[in-house]
Amino acid sequence: MKIITASAAISAAIASVIVDAGHNSRNLILGGDVVPIGTKRYTAMIFDPNEELICSGVLISSLHLVTTAWCAGSDRNDKTLTTVTLGAHYRNDTGEHHNIVKVQYHPEFSNETFSHDFALLTLDSASAITPIKLPKSDDSDITYGLVTKVVGWGETSFPDGELSDELRGVNVSVWTNDECARIFQDLEQSYVCAGGTPGKGACHNDYGSPIIKESALGESEDIVVGLHSISIKCGAAGEPSLYSRMSAGVDWIRKEIGV
């Protein structure tokens, strides 16, 4: 499987709204640990017809995944998402395999500002994996200082790391929007910042990786609170990543999936 590089189109669009930011072919979970085998099975690898690993997503019902709109091909018509692997721990595991039969973009998604960067994917058959829970729409599930976990199979160092063979996770803390606005110009309220600890976090092209509010009651009660969208300086002190705030899209998602 190959990792696809980001397009010039998204780089240009993001550069118009953030300071010194860009995308490249890096796909990173920096400074994290391997998650225990059999956990975070709701995390998805998403592929195109050439079996290129495009990005990540997360299972939110037996038939639906959520990822970012850019991941789903909103600005690059030459790529079509076709398949999903769920329940894999190792990057080359077969896991639970599904075809994608429908892709929907949030109606307020913008290719210029990347506001409401959400896409809903419908699977061809029901998954046997327990989906992650959706957040409330009032932001009560994502508060300042909350320690969340971002998970993925990306590179483990920057700039010359190798892809992880195993699913890894790293803790990242949520910022206030005022703090975030000092890094990102014209911050859209559908975003949230998290991270900024030296050597830890998600990075360029790790689109769609979920940030998770883990539950003390067990993984079946975990809540997805964001999806990785933009990073600037990977693992640099005081440089957070930008995530699509799930509470900004959850009412639309619930309406579409009927829950």
Q: Whole-model pTM? A: 0.86
Long-range own/partner contacts, residues 235-239 (CB < 8 A, 24 or more apart): 235/28, 235/30, 235/31, 235/158, 235/198, 235/199, 235/200, 235/201, 235/203, 236/196, 236/198, 237/196, 237/197, 237/198, 238/196, 239/183, 239/195, 239/196
| Amino acid 125: pLDDT | 98
Secondary structure E strands in 49-91: 52-61, 64-67, 83-86
What mean pLDDT is reported for the chain?
83
Cα separation of 229 and 242, whole Å?
6
Domains 2-19+41-130+250-257 and 147-247 share a fold: yes
* Residue ranges, the chain, pLDDT below 50: 1-28, 77-78
Cα separation of 53 and 81, whole Å?
10
| Amino acid 27: pLDDT | 39
Asked if 229 contacts 243 with a C-beta cutoff of 8 angstroms, the reply is yes
| Amino acid 223: pLDDT | 98
CA atoms within 13 A of residue 24's CA, in its CB half-sphere: 10
Nearest one of 70, 237, 73, 42 to 152, comparing CA atoms: 42
| Amino acid 172: pLDDT | 94
Task: Check residue 221 and report its DSSP letter.
Answer: G
Asked if 211 contacts 225 with a C-beta cutoff of 8 angstroms, the reply is yes
| Amino acid 14: pLDDT | 43
| Amino acid 6: pLDDT | 38
Topology classification of domain 2-19+41-130+250-257: Thrombin, subunit H (2.40.10)
Nearest one of 187, 152, 191, 194 to 34, comparing CA atoms: 152
For the domain 147-247, what is the CATH code?
A: 2.40.10.10
Domain extent listing, the chain: 2-19+41-130+250-257, 147-247
Q: Residue 215 corresponds to which tokens in the numbers above? A: 């539950």
21-73 residue pLDDT tens = 333 333 345 557 899 999 999 999 998 888 888 889 999 999 999 999 988 87
Which residue type, as a one-letter code, is found at position 211? Answer: I
